[in-house]
Amino acid sequence: MVKLSSMARRAKSPKSGSATSTVRMLSRSKFANSDEQHYRKHRAMKQRIAGFLFDWLVGAYLAVMLHRIVWQELLLGVDSALSSAPSNSGAVIAGIPVWLVYGAVGLVLAIAASISKVSIALLVQGKLERTMWQRTAALHIASLLLSLTFITGWVVTKISLVDMFSGERLRAAGRIFSNLLQPEFAILPQALSAIVETVYLAFMATVLALPASFVLAFLSARNLMRGNVWTRATYTFLRALTNFTRSIEPLVWAVIFTVWVKVGPFPGMLALMVHTISSLAKQYSEQIEDIDPGPMEAIASTGARPLQIVWFGVVPQVFIPFLSFTIYRWDINVRMATVIGLVGGGGIGTMLNQYQMLAQWREVGLIVLVIALVVWAMDYISARIREALA
């Protein structure tokens, strides 16, 4: 009897074990489904909030254009001074600050769009089907916004084809172009020396930016920095930092470093280096995020350390694209070096600015010719090298 009872327990035990595992699987599936539902609700809520804020911004923008461009500029013929602060033009409307009125109108339009579903945000998010009348209405509103934006741009930039093609303007342009087409070759040695300085300025900015760009790229790659809260925080901070520094043009950095150091090629090189670091870091990190994760997983399965995984699993995949990006960046820096020379950043840009200020257009014509030839040669060489690497 004892043997029979023990055999019965053994026979039942697999069933009970399988039942327990089934219950566990069901509970895990339930939790997974609940987590997925929570994520979807959270994402939908974020999209609704973002859509409402976008419609609010569009509504306020529409109010500004209708009031200050259509009403004041086109209908009343009053200079709205759109580029100035609102407080300087029509300070208040019915005793209320004008910017507050624009915001209130935008809020009302956003609420109306949310209720009626005639929303530019929903159109952008692809949530309006072709058969819905709201989509047609939203498309008409978007067309109106684009048309008003074009009109606003025409007014703000003060485009005047009449002034451009007047007799006096055409004669002045003819004098300048006739001198530009007769370059003064007497300054050719100085121009060649300045263009060599420009090329080396761009080269040093690119080379000195490489180490920092290389390190920042791996720390700014989402697929490598999602392990814990500290790595995610590092990723977020560095991405924000590189985006900020990249948003500041090299011309502005050149002005800063010219005041900090002195006029010459050194501040120009520093300006290009800072912008190159942020630009290459972004391009490198995006390339890292597009790699095949297979080699990384294979190396990680052998018990390799994180640095070994990156060095042997990531670097071989991105080395050639990194090299191509770097060569192309040097080409870009040569062109930028010409521009930053206009604010004291050294190179041929400084020489160009000097002769342009003196209205010596024949000398300017030679400098422009030298710049064009060197930029063309750099672009040709860069393209051929990148084709060979591809």
At 206-225, the pLDDT tens digits run 999 999 999 999 998 888 88
In a domain, 19, yes or no: no
Quote the pLDDT of residue 190. 92
> 361 with 306, same domain?
yes
In a domain, 2, yes or no: no
In sequence order, which residues have a C-beta less than 8 Å from that of residue 182 and are 6 or more positions away? 362, 365
Structural domain harbouring 384: 178-389
In a domain, 14, yes or no: no
In a domain, 265, yes or no: yes
- pLDDT at residue 319 tops 50: yes
- pLDDT at residue 252 tops 50: yes
> 222 with 141, same domain?
no
| β-strand partners of 93 | 96
In a domain, 168, yes or no: no
Quote the pLDDT of residue 217. 92
Q: Please give the Cα distance from 293 to 314 (Å, whole number).
A: 8
In a domain, 72, yes or no: yes
E strand or H helix at 209, and its extent? helix 188-219
CATH number of the domain that residue 228 is part of? 1.10.3720.10
> 82 with 193, same domain?
no
> 309 with 238, same domain?
yes
- pLDDT at residue 23 tops 90: no
Listing DSSP states for 83-151 in one string gives: TS-GGGSS-EETTEEHHHHHHHHHHHHHHHHHHH---HHHHHTT-S-TT-HHHHHHHHHHHHHHHHHHH
Quote the pLDDT of residue 30. 55
Rounded to the nearest integer, the mean pLDDT of the chain is: 83
- Entry pTM: 0.71
In a domain, 8, yes or no: no
> 248 with 375, same domain?
yes
Structural domain total, the chain: 2
